[in-house]
Amino acid sequence: MHDIGFLSDFAVVLGVGAVTGLLAVRLKQPSILGYLLAGLLVGPYLSIPIFADPHRVETMSEFGVVLVMFTVGLELRLHRFLGVLPTAGATALVEVTTMLGLGYALGRFVGWAPVPSLFLGAGLCISSTMVVSRVFEEKGASRDLRDHVLGVLVVQDVLAITLAAVLTAVAAGGGLEASELARTLGKLGAVLVALVAGGLLIVPRVVRHVAQLGRPEALVVLVCGICFGLALLATYLGYSVALGAFLAGLLVAESGRAHDVEHLVAPLRDVFAAIFFVSIGMSVDPRLALEHLDLSLVATGVVIAGQLVVVGLAGMLSGNGLRRSLSSGLALGQIGEFAFILAAIGVSAGVVGPELQPVLVTVAVLTAFTTPIALGSADRLVCWVEHHLPDRLRTLLSLYEAWFQRLRRAPGGTAPRQRLRRALIATAIDGALLVTVVAVVSVRIAPFSARLRETLGVEPPWDRRVILLGAAAAIVPIALHLVLTSRNFGAVVAELATGEQSDGVRRLVQVSAQLLVLLGIGAPVAAAISPFVGATFPLPILIGLAAVGLLFLWRRAGELEQDVRSGAERVLALVARQAAEESAAGSRRADESRTSIVDGMLGLDSMSGVTLAKGSFAVGQTLADLDLRARTGASVVAILDHDGTRKVAPTGREVLDAGDTLVLAGADDSVAAAQRLLLEGDVPPDDVGPDAP
């Protein structure tokens, strides 16, 4: 009789996984949790008379990795990736590198070696697209929030692929030496360029030709052959199967048939993805999970709090507003499928201990439960932060979002846009040079010290001091140039975002953009040099940099208050004149009383005035009662009472009455939401966003 081992394991894994996966869905939880539970049930650590062979299941799980990464590539067309970079790229870069550094620091703090700590950081820095999509589907989310979070996830996927390639080299024995990492990244870049360039010439054309035949079975066989073929090629080149499968999906997507292919591949992907997650569950020893429960709980706190703070701060500096930034941080506060894929690289190579998988599984389970709860409390959190923000920052956030909206709408191809691109390239080069100098000195300090002692007779400890002084002499000019290029970047951003009318506004936007680019460079630099100089060294410097930048913003926000007051007074005079003219002409109507007011002093294209009719929702309430700024992101900078009284920079405690005209400032979508709230008392989620009608 033929060996039925694989058939038996296949039946057991899918049978138990179907039951536990359905149970998770019925409990309104991601199905991944059910599959992890199935792995625990059929694995070797529980005395249950249902058993599958771990080695055979692990072999089958490779198909799940390949197909999952293939579909990730299918969803990432090059034009889409380039499209989300301006809005989500900076946030994703700061988030991934900072969380990677925090995870590495946590591993070193509890006594793990550098390589396992690096894998822990990698597992904690990538959020779960599967969990986020399910939460958005069940909880609902505004269009602008969905677009921003999914954009961050797209960039995360690309960074995760890079991490997978680097970790594969580390697991293969390269370690964390600077020369090895530099060689790995150089080889990775060359391989990516060669495969993408060559693949674009062949794969899209072949896929389109086969798709035109109208034979779905031929198309699915073709794309699966491409997928597994490139995965095999990646392993021959020394990388994981995930990289090859991702590139295959990327190339097939360029054929324009990604939707058809994904529809055909989805059932096969779901089957083997379930087997992959079951295999992860089988590798978890419950006793190890309990033994390292304290570390898992700390890591869970790091993921939830770290994502909230890092994504929230980076999002606000990127001009995404308080509500969208904080809600994005809550939505991304979990780990998922990529964490297991990255960890599997280390486990299969034997460079990490058996405790990594239980820790990551525990964190994934806990954060899958906490994400819906956290996102459901986003409104309360935003309102709490809004109410506790200093007065000078509240209006600033509304105006800041509007300035960056103007920046994104600036036409491409202009001279300032080209200067912006050059400044970004220069800062990236400076960051790479900083990493190179620190890494080379950290790795080669012992040989350099020995040479100084032998050739020049320099005695300890002066041999090391001389090397460190030389390194400082090389680093200082690079750091100063980085500050100058980031300042130039901020100046160009301020020019595009605010025009040339207000020096105070320009200075504030310039400092904000400079801080954003320094964090965007500083976070990757800190993460990259942590293995060489120690995890406790770069992070405090990065935090100090952020604190100094925020202090500057605080001072600039105070200087802006006078500009806001002056602009509001001028706008009020214009509103009063328009109201008098319309009243004299007898043409004023409540449902047409939304006025666009050009404002150069605050660097905005326009502000909007809305007049309350007798039946408007806001009549009889205060702005504080409405929570207008927290719920919409727009600010009321002035009020013209129905009796002609002018109120500049209202406190929020004024009772609104019919005939009052409120001057709103903020991004277009925020102002539209505020108008809807004031007049109708309704802010539908899908109406809040840049694409809202």
Residue 477 above 80 pLDDT?
yes
Six-digit token string for 125: 């820095």
For residue 692, is pLDDT > 50? no
Helix axes 114-124, 90-109, angle to 10 degrees: 140
Asked if 208 and 257 touch (Cβ cutoff 8 Å), the reply is yes
Least confident of 351-360, 453-462, 549-558: 549-558
- Rounded CA-CA distance 102/121 in Å is 7
Q: Cα–Cα distance between 413 and 415 in angstroms, integer?
A: 7
| Domains with residue ranges and CATH for the chain | 5-43+56-388 (1.20.1530.20), 416-561 (no CATH), 568-687 (3.30.70.1450)
Average pLDDT (569-583) is 67
Q: What are phi and psi of 450, to 5 degrees?
A: -60, -40
Is the predicted pLDDT of residue 490 greater than 90, yes or no?
Answer: no
Residue matched to tokens 């089988």: 282
190-204, 485-499, 596-610 — most confident range: 190-204
Structure-token pair, residue 574: 């214009």
- Least confidently predicted of 131-135, 185-189, 601-605: 601-605
| Residues constituting the chain | 693
Whether pLDDT at 689 is above 50: no
Tens of pLDDT, residue by residue over 619-663, are: 888 887 888 877 787 888 788 787 777 777 777 788 888 888 888
Amino acid 3: pLDDT:
62
For residue 126, give the nearest of 321, 311, 323 by alpha carbon: 311
Percentage of the residues of the chain whose pLDDT score is greater than 70: 80
Mean pLDDT within 384-394: 76
Model pLDDT, residue 307: 92
Q: Which of 640, 659, 642 is nearest to 650 (CA)?
A: 640
CB atoms near residue 225 (< 10 Å):
11
Owner of token pair 């004031």 = 678
Average pLDDT over residues 535-545: 66
Is the pLDDT score of 301 beyond 90?
yes
Bridge partners of 662, per DSSP, are: 610, 639
d(CA 121, CA 338): 12
Mean pLDDT of the chain: 78
Specify which of 155-169, 542-556, 557-571 reaches the highest per-range mean pLDDT.
155-169
| Residue labelled with tokens 């697209």 | 129
Q: What is the pLDDT at residue 442?
A: 66
